[in-house]
Every structure is written in C-alpha cells, then in structure tokens.
Amino acid sequence: MKPRVTKVFLFSLVIALLGFLVWFIPPVYLLKRGTVTYERFERDKGKVSVTVGPKEKGWTPLRRVSRFALAAIMVSEDARFYTHWGIDLLAIKNSVKVNWARGRYARGASTITQQLVRLVFLDPEKTLLRKTREVMGALLLECLLSKQEIMEWYVNLIPLGKGVYGIRDASRIYFASEPDILTVSQGILLALVLPSPNKRSRNLDRKQLTAWGQKRFAELANELQEAALISKKQWEEAMGTGNFGAPIQAQE
C-alpha cells in the first residue's frame, strides 16, 4: 500500500472510530451544560418530555437536602460512591457471586453515576449493549462532573414512586415536608423504595411498612450507624419510630 493511501486509510479509520464513539457514548456532557431534556413516565400524563437542571424551576440544590436522606440513599444504592470512579468493581464481583448462587438475576451493581446515565440517556432494557454504553457514559461523566454535582443531579431526577420524581416532590408527597428537614427515619423510608420505586413505594403510600420493609429499614439503619453517619441515639430514635410513628419490628 502506498504511503499516501495508507495515510488516507488511517485518517478515515480514526474519523470512523471517533464518529462511532460519539454515537455510542451517551451525551453526558449535556449535564455539564446544566440543562437536559429527557423522557419519563408521569402518573397523570403518561410518557412526557421534561427539561430539568439547576436553573430550572423545582430544582433542589444539594446543600438544601438533609444529610440523613443523602446518607441513606447512598448507603442503599452505592455505599462507595465517593471512592469509586464511575463503576464499583467490588460491587460487581459481589453481584456476580449472589446471582450465580441464586441461579437468577437477583442483585445489580450499578453505581449512582451509572443510574443517572441510564435514567437520562438510555432505555431501561437489560441488554449487554445498553450496559456497555451505560458504563462508558459513567466513566466519562466522572471526568466531567464532581461527585457533589452527580449526586445533586441524581437526587433531583431519581424516581421515588409512581409519578414521583426527585427528593423535593417525594418529601412533600410522603411527609408533607421539605428536603432540608427530612429526619433519619424519613431518609431511610425514601431509600428503602430503591431500586424498585413503583413496587416498594406502596409502603409509603399506605404509611405502614410490611415485614420486608421493616427488615430493610433495620438493615439501612444499622449500616448508617456502622458507617458513623448517624449516632447511637439517632439509630435508637429511628428504630423506635421508623414505621410511621411505631417501632420497627425487624424479624431475623
């Protein structure tokens, strides 16, 4: 092959590769810009397009979210959020072990960053292609945004029940409260609906935890105390009133 032909071929190959990457990797840079439009399902409207971002109406800055709620959500969904770089290899390893032992897909390993990418840019279908795009998008997003910025996007967009999106709406609907004054118990109650909010939010709708809900509540409360995110006294208060004013009766 002649030198000129080789250069043209290599240049074309590079352009083709770059074009593929631009198509393949979700456009997570839009979150850096500060406003994004995506589709979600709302209870009274069905599938709709919404525009969200720090400058849009209804946005809650991270500094106005209770540290208890943030801690509970992090412990529930991605305990090593502040130490990994988009994907959690240890969580993946543990997930493979659990799924292999049970012979079915019983536990995921998506980080908060991955969930945000999927929520805004990808379909929920469980395919290898989608998962690969999700991972690549998460790795890129961690390079573009700080952990605090990623968490702020997440708590503003996260589904927390049928037609309930973001921690502000969830705080008002379930507790007639605001995100910045959520208690330890309320933070845990929000966290335990994840990652299946449509199903698990029934506990919040009827304001009574099932046996599973009480067990999960106790698990999250224990993890929060073990990680020194709440005190012993706060743990006792949460366990004493966590079931909407009643004590948590967690069965072993």
Counted domains in the chain: 1
Indicate whether 48 belongs to any domain.
Answer: yes
Cα separation of 49 and 41, whole Å? 9
Indicate whether 16 belongs to any domain.
Answer: no
Which pLDDT band, with edges at 50, 70 and 90, does 47 fall under? confident
Contact of 162 with 43, CB cutoff 8 Å: yes
Indicate whether 230 belongs to any domain.
Answer: yes
Structural domain for 172, as ranges: 27-59+67-241
Indicate whether 126 belongs to any domain.
Answer: yes
Q: How many residues does the structure list for the chain?
A: 252
pLDDT tops 50 at residue 26: yes
pLDDT reported for residue 179: 98
pLDDT reported for residue 138: 95
Indicate whether 147 belongs to any domain.
Answer: yes
CATH number of the domain encompassing residue 31: 1.10.3810.10
Indicate whether 163 belongs to any domain.
Answer: yes
pLDDT reported for residue 154: 98
Longest dimension (CA), the chain: 81
39: three-class secondary structure by DSSP:
strand
Indicate whether 148 belongs to any domain.
Answer: yes
Residues 82-136 have pLDDT tens digits of: 999 989 887 666 655 555 555 544 445 789 999 999 999 998 788 888 899 999 9
Residues 150-205 have pLDDT tens digits of: 999 999 999 999 889 999 999 999 999 999 999 999 999 999 999 888 889 999 99
Among 1, 24, 230, 28, smallest CA distance to 114 is for 28
pLDDT reported for residue 215: 95
Share of the chain above pLDDT 90, in %: 66
Indicate whether 111 belongs to any domain.
Answer: yes
Q: Is the peptide bond before 195 cis (omega within 30 degrees of 0)?
A: yes
Mean pLDDT (the chain) is 86
pLDDT reported for residue 18: 47
